[in-house]
Amino acid sequence: MAQFDVLDASGKKVSTVELSDAVFGITPNEQAVHAAVVNFLANQRQGTQSTKTRSEVSGGGRKPWRQKGTGHARQGSTRSPQWTHGGVALGPKPRDYSYRINKKVRRLAVLSALSAKAAAGDMIVLDKLAADEYKTKAVVSMLTAVGAGKKNLIVSDVADKKFVKSAANIPGVKTTVATSVNTYDVVNADKFIVSVDAAKKLEEVLGE
Mean pLDDT of the chain: 94
pLDDT at 208: 61
Express each pLDDT in 29-67 by its tens digit. Answer: 999 999 999 999 999 999 999 999 999 999 989 999 999
In angstroms, rounded to a whole number, what is the distance separating the alpha carbons of residues 45 and 42?
A: 6
Instruction: Convert the pLDDT of each residue in 93-144 to its tens digit.
Output: 999 999 999 999 999 999 999 999 999 999 999 998 888 899 999 999 999 9
Could you tell me where in the chain the CATH 3.40.1370.10 domains are found?
2-44+101-206
CB 160 within 8 A of CB 125: no
Average pLDDT estimate for 162-183: 94
Phi and psi at residue 18, in whole multiples of 5°?
-95, 125
- For the domain bounded by 2-44+101-206, which CATH number is listed? 3.40.1370.10
At residue 51, the pLDDT reads 96
Cβ-proximal residues to 84 (8 Å cutoff; 6+ apart), any chain: none
Distances (CA, A) of 47 to 7, 94, 178, 199: 43, 5, 29, 36
For residue 132, how many other CB atoms are within 10 A of its CB? Answer: 8
Strand locations in the chain (E): 2-7, 13-19, 123-126, 152-156, 173-177, 191-195
> How sure is the predictor about 179, in pLDDT bands with cuts at 50, 70 and 90?
very high
Predicted TM-score (pTM) of this structure: 0.82
Burial class (CB in 10 A: 0-12, 13-18, 19+), 122: middle
